[in-house]
Structure 1
Amino acid sequence: MPCNLGPSTKRHKAQARIALLFALIALALTVLPTASFAGTDTAGNVLATEADSNPSGSEGDLYWAGQSLNLDDASIDRDIIAAGDSLSIRDCTVGGAIRLAARTIDISKTAIDGSVTVAGQHVVLNTGSAANCFYAMGETVALRGSAKSAALAGSTVTIDGTVDGDVEVWADKLILGKNARITGTVNAHIAQDPERAEGAQVGSLKIDRTENESTSTINDIIGGIVAAALSTCFVAILLELVFPRATASAAGMLRQRPTPLWVSGLLGTVAAVPAVLLLIISIAGLSLAGALMCAVIGIALVSAAFTGTAIARMVGHNLNRYAMAAAGGIAAGTLTALPLMGSFISGVAFVFTLGYVIQIIWRNARLKPQQAANTPGLPSA
């Protein structure tokens, strides 16, 4: 994990990623179980969903998605990549790495040659499991097996196994059980003193006390709002300079046809994540999935500035467009940086911008056939 961020920042980023993960899982589970399939490609990779919830083995990678995976006494020559609600891997051998995202994850009595990278609500590398590295993020994270190194982030982190190396921990609460055997250093970025059982053995323990969120000062909040307002203002002016027709078109669309704009934005937001996941699972669509993800990320980065500019231009259509873009950018940046409601405002801005993009694509797709039909044909000989 990157080491150039403060521990409090790392923990906040970890919590944000957990929240995003649960949103992705929730959207995926509404689509994937209705499209069950299983098969093996020419490279030996097994692709499976709920229809084949317990594959016996794979000469290549195992890709799985659905509600509940119970992988028992299987041999996977390479990697396991899975997402769902409940994932259990027991008495297995894995020649590569494990990448999992689920609400509950339990890996027990399993030998993993590579690393284990998991994220969920309740995560455990259980007794009898051994991995090269264990990287985990969740509400509760437990390491009861063995690893050569570990990086763990969560509300409560429990280490009651063996680590033949260093451990990085970001948590509110750290528990070192009686079976903990750590040869290296535990760098603990925690909010309270760790609970250490009598039999726990740790090479060295370094505690970096993290600040509780409630200790954030009003100056920090104001500073963040000012920074967000200025940066969004800059992006808004840049958008108005480079794409003036787009901002004017969005303002007109918001004033004249708001319903199709918002409906298409909401539908596109709901469909984006399942579409990316299905393209990834299909293997052949990896390039399309990458392009779609890049497009979604790009829209998210400029959505606040674009929405603020469009609304400002709609309100002050007779005023200087650069002045209105600056005002809209400042307002949008301020609102998205506010505590509690900032995330909601950012989501509304993303829906608006995505809806505009969808409407423009739909309009151009309809105009091309009409233009082709109105083009006079060449005179025949």
Structure 2
Amino acid sequence: DTAGNVLATEVDSNPSGVKGDLYWAGQSLNLDDASIGRDIIAAGDTLSIRDCTIGGAVRLAARTIDISKTAIDGSVTVAGQHVVLNTGSTANCFYAMGETVALRGSTKSAALAGDTVTIDGTVEGDVEVWADKLVLGKNARITGTVNAHVSEDPERAAGAEVGALKIDRTENEDTSTLNDIVGGIVAAALSTCFIALLLELVFPCATASAAGMLHQHPTPLWVSGLLGTIAIVPAVLLLIISIAGLSLAGTLLCGVIGIALVSTAFAGCAIARMVGHNQNRYAMAAVGSIAAGALTGLPLIGDFISGVAFVFMLGYVIQIIWRNARLKPQQAGNTPGLPSA
């Protein structure tokens, strides 16, 4: 345009001279031996800038980015999967994020984030690094401080020169105290007990029925609950795919969420009633739910206990639906026919 800016794609000829900004988009972009007056803003699958001079800043996004033997007056801000400011390149500052990030050229400061970050060039200032792994190569020359937020100790080659190296280990450590664990267990037990007493007050027949089913016919209950748990996700997806089944999918999800919320209390209540069937049902519901809630609050095994409770309650619901569906045809068959005219 009249301001000297250029918009180019990969099908265009290589823009060798641009007075203003270069806006660049395409799948495979290669800029060789070009002079850009101000900024480059580019996006693509593969970006390569080589033997160029750039009067402004560089903003790139691509899967693979390689900047080599290029003088950049401004900053470089890039994001991709594999990113490198290669040997012979200079920039005012280098900001990069990717799976692998490498700084092999020269810059005044840098902020780098990735799974693996390699510094094997010159930085006349400080460097901030967020990475799983930091590698300081033999050609690393850093006059300032490297603040490394890493999950493992950096690899430092012989010959690497660093003004100062500060390491902040970022591994996920379990900082829970004993008081936090005990408090969580107590809270889980009390909340589960409250829900169980409500269930025993509103649905006493359901908890008694579940206790009897667990005592007399446990195998169908557990098998149907396990198969139902496995079938939930594909059933919801199939209902969502069929537009007419969106309302059914929503109903099914609401039912699953409801079962998940009360399953621990229901299972504890039913098991306690089966064990102490001659005792006061409210007392047994409280004891069973407190024990079940406390188990779900324990580290490591809490999620497993919650899953078992969900399978138990889902199996009970499936068995009740199945039995009612079988009783209706039998009742209809036993109904006397009307006399003919």
TM-score by length of 1: 0.48
Structure 1 counterpart of 2:174, from 204, 214, 235: 214
Residue 332 of structure 2 is matched in structure 1 by 372
- Give yes or no for the alignment of 1:333 onto 2:254: no
Residue 63 of structure 2 is matched in structure 1 by 127
Q: Determine which structure has more spread, i.e. the larger CA radius of gyration.
A: 2
- Give yes or no for the alignment of 1:296 onto 2:256: yes
Which sections of structure 1, spanning at least 5 residues, go unmatched?
Answer: 1-89, 92-106, 111-124, 130-141, 146-155, 161-170, 179-185, 196-207
Residue 310 of structure 2 is matched in structure 1 by 350
Q: Is the 8 A contact 1:229 1:330 kept in 2?
A: yes
CA 1:284–1:159: 2 relative to 1, 3 Å: farther
Q: 1:16-55 residue pairs with structure 2 within 5 A?
A: none
Aligned residue pair count: 209
- CA distance in 1: counterparts of 2:182 and 2:99, whole angstroms: 36
- CA distance in 2: counterparts of 1:218 and 1:329, whole angstroms: 23
- CA distance in 2: counterparts of 1:304 and 1:343, whole angstroms: 11
The residue identity in structure 2 corresponding to 1:357 is: V
- CA distance in 1: counterparts of 2:247 and 2:304, whole angstroms: 31
Which sections of structure 2, spanning at least 5 residues, go unmatched?
Answer: 1-25, 28-42, 47-60, 66-77, 82-96, 102-112, 120-127, 133-146, 151-167
Residue 67 of structure 1 is matched in structure 2 by none
Shift in Å at residue 238 of structure 1? 0.6
The residue identity in structure 1 corresponding to 2:179 is: N
Q: 1:1-381 residue pairs with structure 2 within 5 A?
A: 109=45, 126-127=62-63, 144=80, 193-194=148-149, 212-381=172-341
Shift in Å at residue 159 of structure 1? 9.7
1:16-71, Cα deviation, whole Å (9 max, x unpaired) = xxxxxxxxxxxxxxxxxxxxxxxxxxxxxxxxxxxxxxxxxxxxxxxxxxxxxxxx
What's the RMSD between the two structures over aligned residues? 3.7
Q: Is the 8 A contact 2:149 2:169 kept in 1?
A: no
- CA distance in 1: counterparts of 2:239 and 2:172, whole angstroms: 40
Shift in Å at residue 209 of structure 1? 10
1:117-147, Cα deviation, whole Å (9 max, x unpaired) = xxxxxxxx95389xxxxxxxxxxxx9528xx
CA 1:211–1:240: 2 relative to 1, 3 Å: farther
Give identity over the alignment, percent. 73
1:262-296, Cα deviation, whole Å (9 max, x unpaired) = 11111111111111122222333222211111111
Q: Is the 8 A contact 2:99 2:115 kept in 1?
A: yes
- CA distance in 2: counterparts of 1:299 and 1:157, whole angstroms: 42
CA 1:176–1:291: 2 relative to 1, 3 Å: farther
CA 1:375–1:355: 2 relative to 1, 3 Å: same
Q: Is the 8 A contact 2:149 2:170 kept in 1?
A: no
The residue identity in structure 1 corresponding to 2:185 is: I
Shift in Å at residue 375 of structure 1? 1.3
The residue identity in structure 1 corresponding to 2:271 is: I
CA 1:212–1:369: 2 relative to 1, 3 Å: same
Q: Is the 8 A contact 1:157 1:174 kept in 2?
A: yes
Task: State the secondary structure of the residue aligned to 1:194.
Answer: strand
- CA distance in 1: counterparts of 2:307 and 2:171, whole angstroms: 28
CA 1:226–1:370: 2 relative to 1, 3 Å: same
Shift in Å at residue 379 of structure 1? 2.2
Shift in Å at residue 337 of structure 1? 1.0
Q: Is the 8 A contact 1:143 1:158 kept in 2?
A: no
TM-score by length of 2: 0.54
- CA distance in 1: counterparts of 2:230 and 2:318, whole angstroms: 13
Q: Is the 8 A contact 1:143 1:159 kept in 2?
A: no
Shift in Å at residue 378 of structure 1? 2.1
Task: State the secondary structure of the residue aligned to 1:144.
Answer: strand
1:168-219, Cα deviation, whole Å (9 max, x unpaired) = xxx9x888899xxxxxxx9x9x9x9536xxxxxxxxxxxx998944221111
Q: Is the 8 A contact 1:175 1:194 kept in 2?
A: no
Residue 33 of structure 1 is matched in structure 2 by none
CA 1:126–1:283: 2 relative to 1, 3 Å: farther
- CA distance in 2: counterparts of 1:286 and 1:330, whole angstroms: 38
- CA distance in 1: counterparts of 2:191 and 2:246, whole angstroms: 33
